[in-house]
Amino acid sequence: MAGVPNVPLNDGNSIPQLGFGVWQVPNNEVQAAVSEALQAGYRSIDTAQGYNNEEGVGRAIKDSGIGREELFITSKLRTRDQAYDKAIKSFHGSLEKLGLDYLDLFLIHWPVPGQDKYPEAWKAFVQLQKEGLIKSIGVSNFLPEHLERIIGETGVTPAVNQIEVHPEYQQRDVLDFHVKNRIAIESYSPLGSGAALKNPTIAEIAEKHGKSPAQAILRWHIQEGFIVIPKSTHPERIRANIDVFDFELDGEDLQRIAGLDRPDGKTGGHPATNNAIW
């Protein structure tokens, strides 16, 4: 199996372009899933405080025996801990649960504009990065207006914005902003939470290349230059989802997938209105 390429970030670090996501995997199942992923060759694992599974992820990392420097571990700050001091304390809680002494990437999970604390959280992230406790700092679910505000207040540009991207919700309108500011886009729900797998155009393209619909979609993310973090709890799917580096979609395939974008294709909450505190 061909290796996963690394994507350079704006802070001089780099991230594997394909990693393993664990949203909605319960703590008592996540260890097995992450162990399977590490055996299959994944080296980047994406968790969050809000997933309530950092301990299980930590156990899988420890049991793997893989050197810390070979791994790229991401977690995300829960929305109720965005005040400066709380963010610092909360981050240390993640390190403890994961059994690590630094994170490769820590993200503000949602801007929560209603609580207006995300710039404070960002200042805490900048401090933690200065202390060497987080290699790269970033955000998730941020709109250009939220990004502009934290860059304006600190002069520090996030390395990554993790947002919902898949063939039925391509976020073309925010791409330019990210390219101009050298913010890498990380696609979450890359398979549209499973829904995009049923799209007949995707099925045709997959068949043409002798691949599964999931592999065709993941290959699309790779060729579009996104970082991508598919989730599965099934060993055979975990292995198949990283096996996407031995074929290439052609111009016609990419054009057909571009045509699948829909304004109502979003499956998760909207950053402008999601003010959930947890």
- Under the rule (CB under 6 A), what is the footprint of ligand A2P? 21, 189-194, 197, 212, 214, 230-234, 237, 240-241
In the chain, the amino acid numbered 39 is: Q
CB of 3 to ligand A2P, least distance (A): 20
In angstroms, the CA 222 to CA 16 distance is 11
51 in active site: yes
CB of 213 to ligand A2P, least distance (A): 7
In the bound state with ligand A2P, the residue whose beta carbon lies nearer, of 105 and 244, is 244
In angstroms, the CA 103 to CA 198 distance is 36
In the bound state with ligand A2P, the residue whose beta carbon lies nearer, of 193 and 274, is 193
Q: Three-state DSSP class for 257? A: helix
CB of 240 to ligand A2P, least distance (A): 5
CB of 232 to ligand A2P, least distance (A): 3
Burial of residue 32 (CB within 10 Å: 0-12, 13-18, 19+) is: middle
In the bound state with ligand A2P, the residue whose beta carbon lies nearer, of 90 and 212, is 212
CB of 169 to ligand A2P, least distance (A): 11
In the chain, the amino acid numbered 70 is: E
Report yes or no: 177 and 4 within 8 Å, Cβ to Cβ: no
CB of 142 to ligand A2P, least distance (A): 19
Q: Three-state DSSP class for 136? A: strand
Residue 221: name the closest of 268, 183, 278, 164 by CA.
Answer: 164
In the bound state with ligand A2P, the residue whose beta carbon lies nearer, of 15 and 217, is 217
Query: What are the beta bridge partners of residue 166?
Result: 169
Sheet holding 160-164, edge to edge: 20-21, 44-46, 72-77, 103-108, 134-140, 160-164, 184-188, 227-228
In the bound state with ligand A2P, the residue whose beta carbon lies nearer, of 6 and 233, is 233
CA dist list (Å): 148 to 45, 56, 84, 152? 28, 35, 19, 6
Residue 103: name the closest of 58, 145, 143 by CA.
Answer: 58
In the bound state with ligand A2P, the residue whose beta carbon lies nearer, of 61 and 214, is 214
Mind telling me the catalytic residues? 51
